[in-house]
Amino acid sequence: MTEQSEWRFSDDRGQLSTAPRRPGRVLAYVQAGATLWGLGIRPQGIFGSDHDGPDPDRAKTGTLPLDEVAYVGAGSGLDAERLLADRPDLVVTVSYGGGHVYGLAPETAKPLEERVPVVVIDVSQARTFTEIGERFAELARSLGAGGGADADADLDAARERLRAVAAVAGGADGPRVVAFSPAGPDQAHVARPKMWPELRVLTELGVRLVEPAPGPGANWSTLGRAETFALRPEVILTDIRAHAAPLDELRGEEHDTVPVVPWNPEPLYGPRDHARFLGLVADALEAARAR
């Protein structure tokens, strides 16, 4: 084994993973796998969390070719043997702080790490969206991805367009944007924008995101239907993950003309995926201004 052939990557726990050669059979948490795909790395397989079911949540998979990428299950249905059945030589997952491996129970993560390198990327609110994206890009490059200049240019253009649209729409006095996860006909979990790296990007670009009142819940404020719409949303970012309730159950006919942006609170960190989301927000702001 030569120095050139050895693969090394230090993850966000400060844990160094090594392999005799660059890993090619990558198993990843769905968010990480879809992000890597957007950066030029095709995972061999993906897995979900306790929020997921027996089939992949297409709100989270982005443009992953699901006919080519195996979905091995989620949550309590996973154990080390099932994860290792197709002989991955690297597992990539995420953490929301403290180095905890998201999506895998400790009794699954520990024996897994004893048999295969596991890389954990921190996607918590303590980091910026750009910092998280850079870490995924570093990992993708270590796995052989190249290029990306066109995607970066697309992202720069999407940022500038949203900044311009938000300014024309009124900036701090522009359309009121509320991000939430419907929980049925009578309740919603309303996002606290400062706690979500992707939502902080919108604020930095001039979008007027509404902050729910202080109270229980670090990331979400759980409100009744009347309280949610008392925030007077003029643009809605709605959680489209499979475990969220449909927006139509919550909003009713009186709010069905408010522009809606589909939102995945577990975003993909590749530049093309992020540019697509920013473009949808810009479209919605323009629609709200035209109402």
Closest by Cα among 82, 66, 85 to 74: 82
Total number of domains constituting the chain: 2
Give Cα separations from 123 to 47, 82, 134, 212, 267 (angstroms): 17, 25, 11, 23, 10
Domain endpoint, select from 98, 120, 143: 143
| Contact in structure between 228 and 159 (CB atoms under 8 Å) | no
Angle at 184 between CA 182 and CA 185, to 5 degrees: 110
What was the pLDDT predicted at 148?
A: 75
- Do 12 and 135 fall into the same domain? yes
Closest by Cα among 99, 126, 121 to 110: 99
| 168-226 residue pLDDT tens | 998 889 999 999 999 999 999 999 999 999 999 999 999 999 999 999 999 999 999 99
- Do 225 and 200 fall into the same domain? yes
Closest by Cα among 128, 194, 206 to 163: 206
Does residue 1 sit within a domain?
Answer: no
- Do 243 and 174 fall into the same domain? yes
Task: Please give the biggest Cα pair distance in the chain.
Answer: 67
- The boundaries of the domain holding residue 11 are 7-143
Q: What is the pTM of this model?
A: 0.93
Does residue 77 sit within a domain?
Answer: yes
What was the pLDDT predicted at 142?
A: 97
Domain endpoint, select from 122, 143, 164: 143
The two structure tokens encoding residue 103: 């999506």
